[in-house]
Chain A
Amino acid sequence: MAIASTTTAPADTAAAARLIAAEERGGARLTAAMLVTPATILVAVGLLIPLVILFRYSLNEFVTQRKLMVEAVTIANYAKFFTDPYYINVLVRTLRVAVTVTAICLVLGFPLAYVLARTQSRFKNLLLMLVVLPLFVGSAVRAAGWMTLFGSKGAINATLMGLGLISTPLEIMYTETAVIIGITAVNLPFMVLSLQSVIENIGRDVEEAAFSLGAHPLAMFRRVLWPLALPGVLAGTILTFILGMNAYATPVLLGGPKFQMMGPLVYGQFAGVNNWPFGAAISFILMTATLLLTIAANLIVQRRYRR
């Protein structure tokens, strides 16, 4: 009898606890709903609605002579893009620049993020500020700065020629290299911050455990640090890739008029030749390419490291 009563009592309390928990969950759901509502509305109004309109525009016709958009349902704009080698070229170049920038950011950013995450220095916050500092300078100002460095009479060429290493100035300005350097400088902070926050949460003791088990630093990195940092790698990579694909100011200012990337191309169609349907179509192609590659990268990484 005594046993029976002791077994029912916990059951009762468990039931009561479940009830309370359920109520709390309900309450939490309500609060959560209230918290995400403003953001949801903002995203819907600010992003989804324009996207829907944009997509509709991309199916419209454009009358060149009168520079007018005419209501229609046609895929002519998309066909125009994919049949003209010029546009294909711009897309390929954009992808190439974005992938290169992302790779450079990862290679440069990882050691930097690691040092920032592990430092015991009192100046850690200052160091973090230094990483973000480039973002305080607007694109135009930064590009002007790069010009003084890259130009035919810029600092780099002046130095190299002064040292007698080269006789004619190197062409850095208005090349893909200049654009890649420029975008890398803008994107690096995003990569570093994404990685740093994840690495910070990987215990130092886990690395030490690997060392004590006979792993030299490279093996430790490959088997422990990298797989554990992967969420940060993924976040940073996606962020820099998207920023690279959509770069506007840097390609315009450092690439010059003949260097075309997707971002400036879209803007040119809208503002320059007023061809909204084609501009809308390019926007969608850019967005889709970015999205597909991001998802693909995600899947590959997940398959590789899933367990």
Chain B
Amino acid sequence: MARLRLDHVSKRYGDFHAVRDVTLDVADGEFVVLLGPSGCGKTTTLRMIAGFITPTAGGVHLADREVTGLPPWKRNAGMVFQSYALFPHLSVAQNVAFGLEMRRLAKADITTRVAEALKLVRLDHLAGRLPRQLSGGQQQRVALARALAIRPDVLLLDEPLSNLDAKLRQEVRVEIRELQRQLGLTTVMVTHDQEEALTMADRLVVMNEGSVRQIGGQRDLYERPADRFVAGFVGRGMFLTGRVEAPGRFRTEGGLALACDGGASGPAVLALRPERLEIGPAPLSGLDNSLPGTVEFISYLGAASDVHVRLSPSDRVIVQVANRGGDAAPEIGATVHVGWPATAGRLFAPGGDPPSL
């Protein structure tokens, strides 16, 4: 059952398409993340669900009700703003009670539900404080409690973690996700942080320039990206340009002959992932591709190192090597062999705008 449904929704500002023909079904209790680079229309999409922006075309359905033309106060969408947008003149408890008072609940019910919501976010001891007397993380939890208290049909989160420091962000991430599971909340979150998106979502919607590029689970996006943009945006991608000479044979612009997985003859881009490549001092047997190259640069990342290897004057790849200690790491200037199975590469049509690595 679709709790939330976007039906060919578009938003135009003059000639500019902020959101273009977005169709999306969100099931009851599902956590969907809208992911994409800055300016791709994520916030606009979310605000159309909340009712702050009216779509220029298409329809929004929330809990089996068409809400496209309804103002925000007639929808039942709980929104957590990036800035939290707490009411500065009201205490924590009064902030949480606000939505319930608007729904004209009985005083006693309001008190219990405020206490419940504050308990969920573990802030019951700060109920009397004013927002300015709270830390950023606490304010964020008040905003969450305030949105949860109204028992929304859908919870909308616009980059809820972007104002928190890195460590807190990790914690709150888990916290929000657990709360969402426990309460069975249908949730749409917006982020441009792919790690955040990958760790939290049931399903991801990758957007670019106002359009949905691909909808799917983490594995779908990572293993089977629909296009070059998704391949570059989700996970790390490297792109070798060239052409497919015959199905299974790819020649780079630098002249390397590579084995690839199928493909139709013509210009193409071969996408590889650094963690799928292997590196060794001698030719790698058992792999479809094994090429000699020179180590040009190494960046040490702790758990792993990125080894940049030049394979031809115009082809360079990055190989991610796990740092296990003991085994001799490659050195800059050394000659190495890089290999991968044909199935590790994916072919895309050229063009588009791959974000460079």
Query: Which of B51, B52, B87, B103 is the most central at the interface, judged by chain A CB atoms within 10 Å of its CB?
Result: B87
Q: Report if A206-B87 is in contact (Cβ < 8 Å); known contacts: A213-B146, A214-B103, A215-B102.
A: yes
Residues of B within 8 A of A206 (CB): 85-88
Contact A211 B73 (CB under 8 A): yes
Contact A213 B83 (CB under 8 A): no
**What string of 1s and 0s marks CB contacts (under 8 Å) between B44-80 and chain A?**
0000001110000000000000000001110111110
Q: Report if A205-B85 is in contact (Cβ < 8 Å); known contacts: A211-B71, A213-B146, A216-B73.
A: yes
Please report whether the interface of chain B is mostly helix, strand, loop or mixed according to DSSP: loop
- The answer to whether the Cβ of A198 comes within 8 Å of any Cβ in the partner chain is no
Size bracket of the A interface: 10 to 19
Residues of B within 8 A of A215 (CB): 73, 98, 102
Residues of B within 8 A of A307 (CB): 89, 91
Q: Report if A209-B87 is in contact (Cβ < 8 Å); known contacts: A214-B150, A215-B102.
A: yes
Query: Which of B73, B88, B91 is the most central at the interface, judged by chain A CB atoms within 10 Å of its CB?
Result: B73
- The answer to whether the Cβ of A234 comes within 8 Å of any Cβ in the partner chain is no
Residues of A within 8 A of B297 (CB): none
Q: Count how many pairs of residues, one from A and one from B, have CB atoms less than 8 Å apart in the complex.
A: 67
> 18 extra interchain contacts, Cβ-Cβ under 8 A, other than A208-B50, A212-B147, A213-B146?
A205-B83, A208-B52, A208-B79, A208-B81, A208-B85, A209-B81, A210-B87, A210-B98, A211-B71, A211-B73, A212-B52, A213-B147, A214-B76, A214-B102, A215-B98, A215-B102, A216-B71, A223-B98
Checking B71, B76, B79 against A209 with a beta-carbon cut-off of 8 angstroms, the contacting residue is B79
Checking B52, B91, B150 against A213 with a beta-carbon cut-off of 8 angstroms, the contacting residue is B150
**B interface residues, how many (CB within 8 angstroms):** 26
Residues of A within 8 A of B146 (CB): 209, 213
Contact A212 B103 (CB under 8 A): no
Please report whether the interface of chain A is mostly helix, strand, loop or mixed according to DSSP: helix
Q: Report if A214-B87 is in contact (Cβ < 8 Å); known contacts: A205-B81, A208-B72, A208-B81.
A: no
CA distance A205 to B158 in the complex (A): 12
Checking A209, A214, A223, A305 against B85 with a beta-carbon cut-off of 8 angstroms, the contacting residue is A209
CA distance A205 to B76 in the complex (A): 17
CA distance A216 to B70 in the complex (A): 12
Contact B89 A212 (CB under 8 A): no
Residues of A within 8 A of B150 (CB): 213-214
- The answer to whether the Cβ of A90 comes within 8 Å of any Cβ in the partner chain is no
Residues of B within 8 A of A228 (CB): 87-89
Contact A203 B98 (CB under 8 A): no
- The answer to whether the Cβ of A224 comes within 8 Å of any Cβ in the partner chain is yes
**What string of 1s and 0s marks CB contacts (under 8 Å) between B123-150 and chain A?**
0000000000000000000000011001
Chain A interfacial positions (CB closer than 8 Å to B): 203, 205-206, 208-216, 219, 223-224, 227-228, 305, 307
Contact B83 A203 (CB under 8 A): yes
Q: Report if A211-B72 is in contact (Cβ < 8 Å); known contacts: A205-B81, A219-B102, A223-B98.
A: yes
Residues of A within 8 A of B72 (CB): 208, 211-212
Contact A212 B87 (CB under 8 A): no
Checking A205, A213, A224, A227 against B99 with a beta-carbon cut-off of 8 angstroms, the contacting residue is A213
- In the complex, what residue of chain B is closest to A227 when comparing beta carbons? B89
CA distance A106 to B254 in the complex (A): 74
CA distance A216 to B50 in the complex (A): 14
Distance in angstroms from B46 CB to nearest chain A CB is 11
Residues of A within 8 A of B52 (CB): 208, 211-212
CA distance A223 to B89 in the complex (A): 10
Residues of B within 8 A of A305 (CB): 89
Contact B98 A213 (CB under 8 A): yes
CA distance A206 to B86 in the complex (A): 6
Query: Which of B51, B76, B79 is the most central at the interface, judged by chain A CB atoms within 10 Å of its CB?
Result: B79
